Amino acid sequence: MVRPLGAGLLALAACAAAPNAGAAAPRAGTVVTATVDPAGVDTTLSLKALKQRYSDAASRSMVIGGLAIRYKDEGQAGGHDPAIVLLHGSYGSLDGYDALAAALASDHRVIRFDMPGMGLSEGQPVSGSAPTVMGDAVLAAMLDRLGVKQAVLVGTSSGGVIASYYAAAHPERVRALVLANVPSDPVDNANIPRSPALRAEFERAASTGMRDLRYWQVYLEWLQGRPERLTAATVSRYRDMNGREGKSRSAWRSTGKVPEVYATLASIVSPTLLIWGRHDFVLPIHTMRDLEARLPAASVSSIVLDDVGHYPPLEVPERFARILRTYLENVAGGE
């Protein structure tokens, strides 16, 4: 059933709306602030070079399915369950959750990892006989090894599909499921409204074979509710990690397998919160209602952020942390 939000969460929802919030409409263009990569210069980085650039003292590695997976276990590490587990989307990495993890770490154990083939994790070869290591299998193995008995799973975009598969398979281990702009059906790419600037970047990338800083600047601004929230460091990281040598995305569960996805969602019984950015051209608000309908066995609450785009926990991490805390206190049986 669909359960309404508690009073505390409704108050946060009221604060979330932008003064002129309304239905999303494609922007006429974007203001490009990133420096364009020098023409003809190969900016591809090896995994070793990426590790030198982006590893830090909190980065750890765990071998799962023969692949070295980067992860971070922060905050109240080793403390009481449930741990909060953050699952990134298709072009992301655990680094995108830096601000959200920092906002939660004072009173929660926060775990996040790079999906196989993404960020700083080793990836399955694009071709070969070795089986694919799926993201939910990596999640299960990691939580087992870290001694996590119960978790709150937070997934955005494709990461939410991974979270859903785990919640369906391990209901006794999921205190709550939090899904932010997560698909339940194949995305209709043909009908997504794109700005002229983004269309131009797609064409330029197709002709040059490169997705440089300007490409990622325009693309990520298009996904934001407010483009000014995007930082140059984020643009550079997306360029670096998505242009890495031998990069693969073999860890994802596809929403194209419709009967399997529907059956998985229908079996979820964990309390579920949907946090949706209304200003999302990829997954507009009707897709949130579709996802609600596919969760008949779960107690579902929802909140819409009118000034936010496709990645709510990345775009407004402090606000997202407040909403999550309120939900856990009032709906999901406490912290």
Helix H, strand E, coil C: the string for 142-209 is: HHHHCCCCCEEEEEECHHHHHHHHHHHHCHHHEEEEEEECCCCCCCCHHHCCCCHHHHHHHHHHHHHC
Assess contact for 287 and 136: CB atoms under 8 A: no
The alpha carbon of residue 190 and the mean position of all alpha carbons in its chain are separated, in whole angstroms, by 22
Q: What is the CA radius of gyration of the chain?
A: 19
How much is the mean pLDDT over the chain?
86
Burial 58-94 (b: 16+ CB within 10 A, else e): ebebbebbebebbbbbbbeeeeeebbbbbbbbebbbb
**What pLDDT, on a 0 to 100 scale, did the predictor assign at position 133?**
81
CB 135 within 8 A of CB 251: yes
pLDDT digits (tens, 9 = 90+) for 260-274: 999 999 999 999 999
Check residue 188 and give its pLDDT.
79
Whether residue 197 is predicted with pLDDT greater than 50 in this model: the reply is yes
The pLDDT, as a whole number, for residue 198 is 96
Give the orientation angle of helix 158-169 with respect to helix 135-145, to 10 degrees: 60
Lowest-confidence segment of 65-74, 91-100, 128-137, 281-290 by average pLDDT? 128-137
CA dist 324 → 30, 84, 273, 303, 332 (Å): 31, 10, 9, 11, 10
Q: What are 2-30's pLDDT values in tens digits?
A: 344 443 333 333 333 333 333 344 444 44
The arithmetic mean of pLDDT across residues 169-184, rounded, is 97
Domain ranges (residues) in the chain? 7-330
pLDDT at residue 40 is higher than 70: no
Percent of the chain with pLDDT over 70: 81
Burial 147-171 (b: 16+ CB within 10 A, else e): ebeebbbbbbbbbbbbbbbbbbbbe
Report, as an integer, the average pLDDT of 123-130. Answer: 59
Is 2.40.420.20 the CATH classification of the domain at 7-330? Answer: no
